[in-house]
Structure 1
Amino acid sequence: MAEQDAKAAHDGAGHRARLRQKLADAGGEALLDHELIEYLLALAIPRRDTKPLAKLLLREFGGIGGLMTADWQAIARVPGMGDTSVAAIKIVQATALRMLRNEVAARPVLANWQALLDYLRADMAHLGVERVRVLHLNSRNMLIRDDHMGDGSIDQAAIYTREVIRRAIDLGSAALILVHNHPSGDPSPSRQDIDVTRQIIDAGKRLNISVHDHVIIAGQGHVSLRAKGLL
């Protein structure tokens, strides 16, 4: 048994070395999805074959996007995942989101729309519940606050006009971009999405606060209500 364990440890170390060399020689694109997660987990669980666990996680959460956006408790419930392993996954997500958000903050948002969409998709496209956020912009359309207004159920999260406008007043916002996700995967706006957007637009007009757009993020893509002519 001891000899078998030693052989397994040796084989695992050799496999990880090959993955590391592939990463060094050709970059992350050379690694399959499960190999990326496998190597990440190997850093947290150095004396274990992490390939089966990596494949299990990707199946459980439907791919890398779903895994990275899953909450801590959900990942921790997967057999074999301890706090150190979960932390490894969440720190990668946090780093990626920070990098994407810094891209959004660096330039006027309306002139940097693709960077905004990349950030929002990374954060919200694979969530299992609806999340509402409001992006507050100054008079030069620079991001001054990314407000996470709350999470809801699998198919509903409330956007309250009074709360959005009060927050905009407190921050001195000149304009807003409303954002929420559809866990169903379909970004098509509902009647309620359209109605609440128009309510916020009307309330903002009285205070010279513009609403540039309401963006719905989902696994199948995104919808801009402005681009659809619904504002």
Structure 2
Amino acid sequence: MNDKPHYHGHRQRLKERLCNNSQNLADYEILELMLGQVLPRQDTKPIAKDLLAEFETLGGVFKGSDERLKKITGIGPGVLTYFKLLREFWTRMAEEPMYVQDALSSPDAVSRAAIARIGNLEVEQFWVALVNNGNKVICWEKLTKGTVDKTAVFPREIVALALRHNASGVILSHNHPGGDPSPSPEDLARTMEIKSACRELDIRLLDHVIVTADRHYSFMESGRL
């Protein structure tokens, strides 16, 4: 008699199919294998199908909040930690182009990094990319965390951060949890205040990028800087 649970053979067959032609795997089968890394002694097919029923897509599962994920039977601390690791891995891959470029020539690299890092958050965060004279990124750092619709940022904080890192240029970024990246009147006023404060110390404000989960708004592209 074989005492191994039925899903062991199924999981092995999935792994073989993954190695032979990964494109042939269904979305729930990809999730099965991922969950199997954390839940090796559990049948992960029902959990995978429940996740897709709740979040509809792999991207939806990947970006799901802990609160929603925990509602799925079988999702515990181990899976939540594993998903956090996967998100951080993917986010850092999205941030890499911002660092490896010799110089930033457009908002694209920063917007992709910001979308990956903060685009899907349910509260606003304000991040700053600092660049040297050649527009190469030397620092990408969170400045503040706010609420669902605002975050307090003071021009002096940004200037102090730039001086501390000997940066000559600043790129601002924050997220809009509501899904619309268009700047609010407060965003417009705050950006002009920061621009004025930076100008006094010969620090260039290169852009302010507002992001959502899949879109961005660039002050520079829109001619507002």
TM-score greater than 0.5 by the shorter chain: yes
- In the other structure, the counterpart of 2:127 is 133
Contact 1:187–1:220, Cα closer than 8 Å, also in 2 = no
> Is the counterpart of residue 36 in structure 1 residue 15 in structure 2?
no
Cα distance in 1 for residues equivalent to 2:26 and 2:110: 27
Structure 2 unpaired stretches of 5+: none
Distance in 1 separating the partners of 2:154 and 2:24: 46
Q: Which residue of 2 aligns with 1:21?
A: 16
1:52-131 residue pairs with structure 2 within 5 A?
52-58=46-52, 60=54, 63-65=57-59, 67-69=61-63, 75-76=69-70, 78-111=72-105, 113-131=107-125
- Residues 131 and 169 of structure 2 are in contact (CA less than 8 Å); yes or no, is this contact kept in structure 1? yes
Q: Please, what is the CA RMSD of the aligned residues?
A: 2.6
Q: Return the match for 1:163 from 157, 161, 165.
A: 157
Q: CA deviation at 1:204?
A: 0.4
Residues 52 and 153 from structure 1, CA distance in 2 versus in 1: closer, same or farther, beyond 3 angstroms?
farther
Structure 2 residue matching 1:214: 3-state secondary structure: strand
Which residue identity does 1:13 align to in structure 2? H
Cα drift, residue 220 of structure 1: 4.5
Give the number of equivalent residue pairs. Answer: 224
Conservation of the 8 A alpha-carbon contact between 2:98 and 2:104: no
Provide Cα deviations, 1:82-123, integer angstroms capped at 9, x if missing partner.
222222211112222222323221113523753433322222
With the length of structure 2 as denominator, give the TM-score of the two structures.
Answer: 0.86
Is the contact made by 1:66 and 1:127 (CA closer than 8 Å) also made in structure 2? no
Distance 1:82 1:119, change over 3 A: same
Q: Is the 8 A contact 2:125 2:174 kept in 1?
A: yes
Greater helix percent: which structure? Answer: 1
Aligned pairs for 1:134-149 within 5 A: 134-149=128-143
Percent of matched pairs sharing the same residue: 33
Cα distance in 2, alignment partners of residues 137 and 145 from structure 1: 7
User: Structure 1 stretch 159-168 or stretch 74-83: which is displaced more?
Assistant: 74-83
Deviation string, structure 1 residues 56-77 (Cα, Å, up to 9, x no partner): 4455567444544556676456
Contact 2:98–2:137 (8 Å) recurs in 1: yes
TM-score, with structure 1 as normaliser: 0.84
Tell me what 1:195 maps to: 189
Contact 2:114 2:174 in 1 (8 A): no
1:80 match: secondary structure: coil
User: Tell me, what secondary structure is at the counterpart of 1:111?
Assistant: coil
Tell me the secondary structure at the aligned position of residue 104 of structure 2.
Answer: helix
Post-superposition offset of 1:14: 3.2
Q: Report SS of the residue matched to 2:141.
A: strand
- Cα distance change, pair 51–152 in 1 and its aligned pair in 2 (3 A): farther
Cα distance in 2, alignment partners of residues 72 and 38 from structure 1: 19
Aligned to 1:213, what secondary structure does the other structure show? Answer: strand
